Amino acid sequence: MKTNPSWFLRRFPSGMPRPDDFVLEQGRIPNPGPGELLVKSLWLSVDPYMRGRISPAKNYAAGLKVGDLMLGGGVGEVLRSEDPGFRTGDIVQSDCFGWQTHTVIPAKTAIILDPEQAPVQTSLGCLGMPGLTAYFALLRTARPKLGETVLISAASGAVGQIAGQIARIKGYDPVAIAGTDEKIAWCKELGYRTGINHRTASDLAAAVAESCPNGVDVFIDNTAGPVHDAAMSNLNVFGRVVVVGTVALADRFDRPDIGLRHLRRILIQRARIEGFLLDDFASENAIAKAELSEWYKRGLLQTREDILDGIESVPSAFVRMLKGENFGKQLVRL
Ligand SMILES: NC(=O)c1ccc[n+]([C@@H]2O[C@H](COP(=O)([O-])OP(=O)(O)OC[C@H]3O[C@@H](n4cnc5c(N)ncnc54)[C@H](OP(=O)(O)O)[C@@H]3O)[C@@H](O)[C@H]2O)c1
């Protein structure tokens, strides 16, 4: 009988998650009920939001409990369908995959993919959740004007690489913050005007000032932490900060986030800081996906993936992404 290797949460991580916070068990291949699909996983996505789901701290979505199956986005092939909208052999994307080789997913969460249009794993990256996040954070939340300086952290990552390219397409002035010189060099190939290595800059605020001589009009904050402080001290009048993510806090979820206080700057610059959640834009997803797909087809959106292979590597992929060891969208291929 075939087994179904599956990853479960062994304990809530203390500080930075480690691969041994998860345990691999051999389960049985489940049977789908009415309205469900049995899928064979082809690609699994590891994303920073999962750090919040494996913490007892309050979050915008319900978290996992110790002993629960790890969940995330994935792409798979339908082996059995108990829903009239899907057939055996369809390739589908859903955010309800388990970290396992075979998953039962609710059919209503699944989208059928067309491999002729784009490689199916792009539905987990530039044409999926990260791409949509970049689109809505930049165009609907920050709403930059032509020529404005748009500073983007985690710039080579899944969200950042798309945000920078949209900024270039729209005629803004994108500036990257990333963690290695290689990442900065690639960001420039994508169309970022320049970039700052936040791991080697001796004075981050000065580095931002040098790279953004006209100040920062828009800051797409994918990380929080010291990068956030450096951007805030360069914010222009009527500057807009979109807080998209706090991945820099992955190792201190259980401790207060200590940084500088920026209230004087916010007051003087009449700046706006806004939290962002992709779910709030669900009604506009189809429009954004169509525009992203069009740019992709025309060769205006490049994407870089960082791929590990095999079900065994899912926790390592997750941890290396949180530590910034990924170069591009972190995926696991099964
Ligand atoms: N609010 C929403 O709806 C929503 C949706 C999707 C994603 N997000 C957020 O968007 C952010 C980016 O997600 P992603 O999927 O695109 O991840 P990603 O950028 O592909 O990977 C995470 C990156 O974060 C950077 N990083 C890690 N620790 C850091 C630190 N201490 N200081 C600065 N940078 C650090 C690393 O890049 P470097 O090497 O460049 O440091 C790492 O590669 C995350 O915070 C995520 O939670 C939010």
Q: What is the CATH number of the domain that holds 17?
A: 3.90.180.10
262 CB under 6 A from ligand 1? no
CA of 110 to the centre of ligand 1 (A): 25
Residue 132 CB partners (closer than 8 Å, separation 6+): 278, 281, 285, 288, 289, 292
Average the pLDDT over 74-90 and give the result. 98
Distance CA 209, CA 13 (A): 36
Helix (H) or strand (E) holding 134: helix 129-135
Query: Do 247 and 170 share a structural domain?
Result: yes
Pair (264, 181) in one structural domain: yes
DSSP 69: B
- Give the Cα separation of 304 and 75 in Å (integer): 18
Whether 154 is in the pocket of ligand 1, judged by its Cβ within 6 Å, is: yes
Tokens of 266: 């916010």
- For the CA of 276, the nearest atom of ligand 1: 1
pLDDT, position 284: 97
Number of domains in the chain: 2
Q: Does the pLDDT of residue 285 top 90, yes or no?
A: yes
Whether 285 is in a domain gets the answer no
Residue nearest to atom 35 of ligand 1 (CA): 248
In a domain, 298, yes or no: no
Q: Are 90 and 114 in contact (CB under 8 A)?
A: no
Q: Determine phi and psi for 225, rounding to 5 degrees.
A: 75, -160
Residues 272 and 203 in one domain: yes
Positive or negative: CA dihedral 127, 247, 324, 102: negative
Q: Give the pTM.
A: 0.97
Q: Residue 1 pLDDT > 60, yes or no?
A: no
Q: From 136, 223, 280, 326, give the residue whose CB has the most ligand 1 atoms within 8 Å, as the site to mutate.
A: 223
For residue 42, being part of any structural domain is answered with yes
Alpha-carbon torsion (231, 237, 243, 249), positive or negative: positive
Residue 198 lies in a domain: yes
Q: Tell me, using a 6 A CB cutoff, whether residue 326 lines ligand 1.
A: yes
- C-beta 51 within 6 A of ligand 1: no
Please report the pLDDT score of residue 88 as a whole number: 98
Question: Nearest C-alpha to atom 18 of ligand 1 is from which residue?
Answer: 157
Residue 239 has pLDDT above 70, yes or no: yes
Are residues 262 and 158 part of one domain? yes
Give domain status of residue 183, yes or no: yes
- pLDDT-derived band at 169, boundaries 50, 70, 90: very high
* Residue numbers of the domain that contains 239: 129-279
Query: How far does residue 114's CA lie from ligand 1's centre (Å)?
Result: 28
CATH number of the domain to which 191 belongs: 3.40.50.720
β-strand pairing of 329-333 with 22-28: unpaired
The answer to whether residues 163 and 53 belong to one domain is no
pLDDT at 58: 78
- 230 or 59, greater pLDDT: 230
State whether the beta carbon of 159 lies less than 6 angstroms from ligand 1: yes
Please write the tens of the pLDDT for every residue from 24-49.
999 999 999 999 999 999 999 999 99
Distance 288 CA to ligand 1 centre (A): 21
Is 288 contained in some domain?
no
Is 101 found in the same domain as 216?
no
CB of 178 shorter than 6 A to ligand 1: yes
What distances in angstroms separate CA 31 from CA 104, 110, 222, one per listed residue? 7, 17, 39
Average model confidence (pLDDT) for the chain?
A: 96
First to last CA, the chain: 19
CA contacts within 13 A on the Cβ side of 146? 0
User: What is the percentage of the chain residues whose pLDDT exceeds 70?
Assistant: 100
Is the pLDDT at 208 greater than 60, yes or no? Answer: yes
| pLDDT at position 143 | 98
When pLDDT is cut at 50, 70 and 90, the band that residue 61 belongs to is confident
Same-domain status, 228 and 243:
yes
Query: Are 255 and 320 contained in the same domain?
Result: no
Residue spans of alpha helices (H) in 214-305: 226-232, 263-269, 285-297
How much is the pLDDT for 57?
81
The first and second tokens of residue 198, run together, are 């936040």
223 CA distance to ligand 1 centroid (A)?
A: 6
Q: Are residues 220 and 120 located together in one domain of the fold?
A: no
**What pLDDT, on a 0 to 100 scale, did the predictor assign at position 306?**
98
Q: How confident is the model at residue 322 (pLDDT cuts 50, 70, 90)?
A: very high
Q: How far apart are CA 12 and CA 47, in angstroms?
A: 17
Question: Is 197 in the same domain as 270?
Answer: yes
Helix axes 181-190, 158-169, angle to 10 degrees: 30
Report CA(234)–ligand 1 centroid distance (Å): 21
Mean pLDDT of 302-322: 98
pLDDT in tens, 110-140: 999 999 999 999 999 999 999 999 999 999 9
Q: Answer whether residue 199 is part of any domain.
A: yes
The verdict on 139 and 106 lying in the same domain is no
Distance 309 CA to ligand 1 centre (A): 21
| 164 occurs within a structural domain | yes
Note the pLDDT of residue 132.
Answer: 98
Judgement on whether residues 184 and 320 belong to the same structural domain of the protein? no
For residues 282 and 135, what is the distance between their CA atoms, to the nearest angstrom?
Answer: 12
Distance (Å) from CA 154 to ligand 1 centroid: 5
Whole-number Å distance between alpha carbons of 160 and 174: 10
- Of the candidates 147, 195, 30, the one whose C-alpha atom is nearest the C-alpha of residue 97 is 30
* Distance, CA of 156 to CA of 153 (rounded, Å): 8
